[in-house]
Chain A
């Protein structure tokens, strides 16, 4: 059974779940303050960053630091509750599908939901940027290339974190704890990006990537650099370990 096929199955389970609206609301909430406070973008001389770059990077920073990780946690709650709510998972386990593939299929849905959120957020960036440009009489919009690249980077660097949250929601039966540990693990990423060992903490990857970008755009600030080694090997190992544990745990409670 191909992965794409299972992905289609999993997507159809999301009908009427209203998750799409939550993600759209998140994207709008992210950019509304930026539009309202657009004048602040012109007071960044100390950092040496241009208004258009500041408008762009501040929004994406808010997204990468909290909103995007938290949305992934919300999505994991959705995915597990849909299965457990009315015992749907029990039916799935009696069908000829490999539970491990089912688990990976659902993880892929999680990634596609987060990709959807990135696309929506990027879309709302262009709209709100256009509005802010009107109100400030200054072109605050960047071209699509750097924006899409940033969105792609955030999404890619969030994969290890998504794998961690997915493992939590599969293995930790009590929803309080899977939600609680997930959200609580986001908060310390502010502290972690300032340390040399940031690559050991996957929850701060997207935020770190954006701050590095900020450092490049703002002339008067210094920010870390992204060294691919040992970061990439650590990230790959971490993601793999989380997914393997999740697959082993998947449906275990229903099968004991």
Chain B
């Protein structure tokens, strides 16, 4: 069964098509990587899944519940991390999480647990606005992990982290499905990074879903289309390039 299913999900801003008829199938359990160049519509799609922006057309369901009817239930079972760090600067990291914990009605211990999970435990008492970029990023991640939700939506969670941090977060995300028994939808503009974390991938370019399937399927698909298949970055570039050519010919 699929955790997330979208049907012809479309978002227009004026005459600009940010997302066009996207049909995602995110299977339950495991990590689903959402790849595409900057401005491909990844964030917009994720925002639609979180109800932060209404779709122009199309529908989606999360864990069998359809939006917008079950908005509250969907949000209750979804942990999210959205592009820019979103927090209250006048509160400490711990207080920020405490706020979310109270809204989600979770046990008190979950805050410490989440801080521990992202490695922020020693800095919990510091004001969030005094955090470094990487720490803000981790705080956002902790906010998403709070209460072990069955679905995590993470938008570019490794942005702004140093190599060690990227590695750490990557390992964390990799281990989450087993550790917390959840599904992770994670986006990145680097296929090489997604390759290291994801079981399934979806490639988005200029609002259109170019490919969806497992890593193996991507390789087979690339081979069948005559794209370079030994290096995934090349495959990705060839795919995007092909789509661009197609767009120009129209």
A touches B in complex, CB < 8 A:
yes
Chain A residues in the interface with B (C-beta under 8 A)? 1, 5, 8-9, 12-13, 15-17, 82, 85-98, 254-256
Interface of chain B residues 89 through 112 with chain A (CB within 8 A) = 89-91, 95, 98-100, 102-104
B-side contacts of A86, CB under 8 Å? 85-89, 128-129
Q: Please state if B104 and A95 are interface contacts (CB–CB under 8 Å).
A: yes
How many angstroms between the C-alpha atoms of A157 and B160 in the bound complex?
Answer: 51
Q: Please state if A87 and B87 are interface contacts (CB–CB under 8 Å).
A: yes
Given A12-B95, A13-B91: A95 in contact with B103 (beta carbons within 8 A): yes
Among candidates A13, A16, A90, A255, residue contacting B99 with C-beta atoms closer than 8 Å: A13
Given A94-B82, A97-B103: A16 in contact with B90 (beta carbons within 8 A): yes
* Total number of B residues with any Cβ neighbor in A under 8 Å: 32
Q: Please state if A96 and B76 are interface contacts (CB–CB under 8 Å).
A: yes
Q: Please state if A94 and B52 are interface contacts (CB–CB under 8 Å).
A: yes
Among candidates A5, A13, A17, A88, residue contacting B86 with C-beta atoms closer than 8 Å: A88
Q: Please state if B50 and A94 are interface contacts (CB–CB under 8 Å).
A: yes
B-side contacts of A15, CB under 8 Å? 90-91, 95
A-side contacts of B129, CB under 8 Å? 86
Given A97-B103, A255-B52: A82 in contact with B76 (beta carbons within 8 A): no
Among candidates A1, A88, A90, A94, residue contacting B75 with C-beta atoms closer than 8 Å: A94
Q: Does B73 contact A (CB under 8 A)?
A: yes
Among candidates B54, B78, B82, B90, residue contacting A90 with C-beta atoms closer than 8 Å: B82
B-side contacts of A90, CB under 8 Å? 52, 82, 84, 86
How many angstroms between the C-alpha atoms of A1 and B102 in the bound complex?
Answer: 11
How many angstroms between the C-alpha atoms of A92 and B52 in the bound complex?
Answer: 10
Which 4 residue pairs across A and B have the least CB separation, nearest first? Answer: A87-B86, A90-B86, A96-B75, A96-B76
How many angstroms between the C-alpha atoms of A82 and B53 in the bound complex?
Answer: 22
How many angstroms between the C-alpha atoms of A98 and B72 in the bound complex?
Answer: 8
Q: Does B80 contact A (CB under 8 A)?
A: yes
Given A95-B100, A95-B103, A97-B103: A255 in contact with B53 (beta carbons within 8 A): yes
Q: Please state if B72 and A94 are interface contacts (CB–CB under 8 Å).
A: no
Q: Please state if B91 and A16 are interface contacts (CB–CB under 8 Å).
A: yes
Whose C-beta in chain B lies nearest to the C-beta of A93?
A: B52
Chain B positions 116 through 135: 1 when the CB is less than 8 Å from some CB of chain A, otherwise 0: 00000000000111000000
How many angstroms between the C-alpha atoms of A18 and B52 in the bound complex?
Answer: 31
B-side contacts of A255, CB under 8 Å? 51-54
How many angstroms between the C-alpha atoms of A183 and B99 in the bound complex?
Answer: 32
Q: Please state if B84 and A87 are interface contacts (CB–CB under 8 Å).
A: yes
Most chain-A CB neighbours within 10 Å: which of B82, B91, B127? Answer: B91
B-side contacts of A8, CB under 8 Å? 102
Q: Does B41 contact A (CB under 8 A)?
A: no
Q: Does B30 contact A (CB under 8 A)?
A: no
Q: Does B157 contact A (CB under 8 A)?
A: no
Q: Please state if A88 and B82 are interface contacts (CB–CB under 8 Å).
A: no
CB distance from A249 to the nearest CB of B (A): 15
A-side contacts of B95, CB under 8 Å? 12, 15
CB distance from A247 to the nearest CB of B (A): 16
Given A9-B99, A97-B103: A85 in contact with B53 (beta carbons within 8 A): no
How many angstroms between the C-alpha atoms of A255 and B129 in the bound complex?
Answer: 24
A-side contacts of B90, CB under 8 Å? 13, 15-17, 82
Among candidates B54, B85, B91, B98, residue contacting A87 with C-beta atoms closer than 8 Å: B85
Chain B positions 66 through 82: 1 when the CB is less than 8 Å from some CB of chain A, otherwise 0: 00000111011010101
Whose C-beta in chain A lies nearest to the C-beta of B153?
A: A94
